[in-house]
Amino acid sequence: MTGALLAALLLDAALGEPRALWDRWPHPTILMGRAVAALDRRMNGGTRPLLAGAGAYALLAGGALLLGSVLAALPGQLVDIALVAILLAQRSLVEHVAAVAQALRQSVPEGRRAVARIVGRDTAAMDAPAIARAAIESAAENFSDGIVAPAFWFLIGGLPGLLLYKVTNTADSMIGYRTPRHERFGKVAARADDVLNWIPARLTALAFRALAPGARWRDIADEARLHRSPNAGWPEAALARVLDVALSGPRSYHGRMRDFPFVNPRGRREAGPEEIDAAVRTLWRVWGGAVALLAVALTAAALLN
């Protein structure tokens, strides 16, 4: 597992998501999304949406575990390396976040257009600091659930663990919302995603905190618990301290302003492209640390054998 993960991290960093490939073939997460949408259409609409949603999630989870087991039984590690590289998103994430800094340097409207591609909040009225904070928050949260969590579950459960996590995360992103249609139907998927991200979110916060030695873990934990998500606040609060910026805070969803508290409230609120660039560098530093740890583990294992 360690060797396959190391190779996959390097492959993803080198190639990212080749457009020529995904213009011809559907990305695995697209296929997962189609499966979620199909079950939503077929199973959501009865008188017992919670039970129906639990059944839908069971089908998704069972299918992911079965497919992962079949793929894991194939000889060699090429399938493992390729699939892990495809389902990790380090290079894609940093490219999307860095694009916000580049756009913001051109103009605020360009920054709004760029950040709208990576966040779900309203962007039409954002000023430059709000755009920068949104990009940094997206970097923190997506590094946790797009890189750390898939890598963690691959190390724990191989391809079955990886595919279970990814289909759960995909389902949560599609049906895990408190809307009239999905509040009950998507509840099991949303809770499963919370459980699977619990450890990775805190590992991500620990990794960020290592780059901000003056930060107190108690402060990070206290602020993370105020976040609307049980997990997203951890990497956000830790990355905020690495960059010495205040994150989260008030923002608008669907035309309604929400008065969320700031994390690292004593940090600078006038963030800009330079802080986004610093966030990107931080993601690469943590990635580099993970690669180094995996290399050391492989070397130690080889010497012991």
Q: Look at the alpha carbons of 258, 259, 261, 266 in this order and tell me if their dihedral is positive or negative.
A: positive
| Domain ranges within the chain, ordered by starting residue | 2-304
Of 222, 223, 260, 266, whose CA–CA distance to 244 is shortest?
A: 266
Tell me the C-alpha to C-alpha distance, in Å, between residue 161 and each of 101, 151, 304: 35, 10, 27
In this prediction, residues 128-140 reach a mean pLDDT of: 94
**What's residue 54's pLDDT?**
96
Sequence-ordered list of residues with C-beta below 8 angstroms from that of 190, at least 6 positions apart, any chain? 172, 175, 176
What is the radius of gyration, based on Cα positions, of the chain? 20
pTM beyond 0.95, yes or no? no
Measured at the CA of 138, the angle between CA 124 and CA 41, to 5 degrees, comes to: 80
Q: What pLDDT was estimated at residue 213? A: 83
pLDDT of 65 over the 90 cut: yes
Q: pLDDT (tens digit, 9 = 90+) per residue, 185-226?
A: 999 999 999 999 999 999 999 999 999 988 899 999 999 988
pLDDT above 80 (res 22):
no
Q: What is the mean pLDDT of the chain?
A: 92
User: Which residues are CB-contacts of 45 (< 8 A; sequence separation ≥ 6)?
Assistant: none
Beta bridge mates, 256? 253
Kindly provide the b/e burial profile for residues 149-183, where b requires at least 16 CB atoms within 10 angstroms of the residue's own CB: bbbbbbeebbbbbbbbbbbbbbbbbbbbeeeeebb
For residues 31-43, average pLDDT:
95
Average pLDDT value for residue range 50-75: 96
